[in-house]
Amino acid sequence: MLTNIFSENPTKVVSDIEALGIPKYKAKQLLKWLYIHFESNPDAMTDLSKKMRDELVQLYSFSLPEIAETRTSVDRSSKYKLKLADGNFVEMVIIPAAKKNTLCISSQVGCARNCSFCATAQMGLIRNLEISEIVGQVVLAGKLVKPNRITNIVFMGMGEPLDNIDNVLSALEILQAEDGISFSPRRTTISTCGIVPAIIKLANSGIRTKLAVSLNSAIETKRTELMPINETYPLEELKKALIYFRKKTSFKVTFEYIMIPEVNMAWEDINALKKYVSDLSCKINLIPWNPVSGIAWTAPRNSHIDMFLTNSQVINQTITLRKSRGSDILGACGQLAATQSQKESL
């Protein structure tokens, strides 16, 4: 089986092509086609000789995930269901705003972490995404938004990115490489439910990226009910890992707090959150819970959100209300789920 070129670090691509006796500058031209023009068809790479193109297709696969379905929201967000080579599906979302285009990508088919508010959790874990399937989402999105560019990448789609940390880190190396997309670490965010050993590994990796932690409660028993991972890595252990991460990076940690009426929006929740973040350099994103089929909670009304946001001002940290985008196409936070039944229906 041929190696997928989107799984290879650009430095390795250059050395492999040079080993064929092809000049280095020609390898650089190839990389520009892949990561500047977002072109995956060698036949379209018109400044490469036919001989070189023939050699490339003997050396590499250039396949990308296939767009199986597109849905566009009233707010202009677009969700793409992507068919993978083995017939599984994942979803990615492009969120335009002013001069920005944020790409929300997936790292797994399904998820093993069973968070009670998330549609992806209902799938269970099917498998990790390969490096080429992660990078491939960015290449597809780059092509879709041309002549504009993807300005931000968030690993907030399907799956727990830190459960697939090796492939995620390798993908980031490719995306951030000078001969790759040269994507800024400041515009990249990995979201996690709180896998402590992987947070430490990320901190030690040398790969720079922002980190967002799905917190949702700073009360031990309540967070465990919402997020079973808390039983394995409780709040204090998580905090120690985040303090370590913070020492290794220039980026503040972001906490994501999904607001669920009658679950985690009382004064006791605010006071617990205030105590938990008091000694951390962080930001807090408040996110209204988005309805998910099969889960009996109700989304917060504007009055609930306004009151919680006002009461949260007692917390001495930067607090931002993140408005949901794409909820009408099930493309908002916690709503992505390319299920087996969807797979079979296409």
- Hey, which residues are catalytic here? 91, 333
- Give the H or E element holding residue 228: none
Q: What are phi and psi of 152, to 5 degrees?
A: -140, 140
Question: Could you tell me how far CA 143 lies from the centroid of its own chain?
Answer: 18
Q: What are phi and psi of 128, to 5 degrees?
A: -75, 150
Measured CA to CA, the distance from residue 169 to residue 293 in angstroms comes to 33
Instruction: Give 21's contacts (C-beta < 8 A, 6+ positions apart).
Output: none
Given a contact cutoff of 8 angstroms between Cβ atoms, the answer to whether 121 and 111 are in contact is yes
- Give the H or E element holding residue 260: none
Given a contact cutoff of 8 angstroms between Cβ atoms, the answer to whether 84 and 133 are in contact is yes
Instruction: Give 118's contacts (C-beta < 8 A, 6+ positions apart).
Output: 111, 292, 334
Measured CA to CA, the distance from residue 89 to residue 7 in angstroms comes to 19
Nearest CA to 11 out of 129, 179, 166 is that of: 179
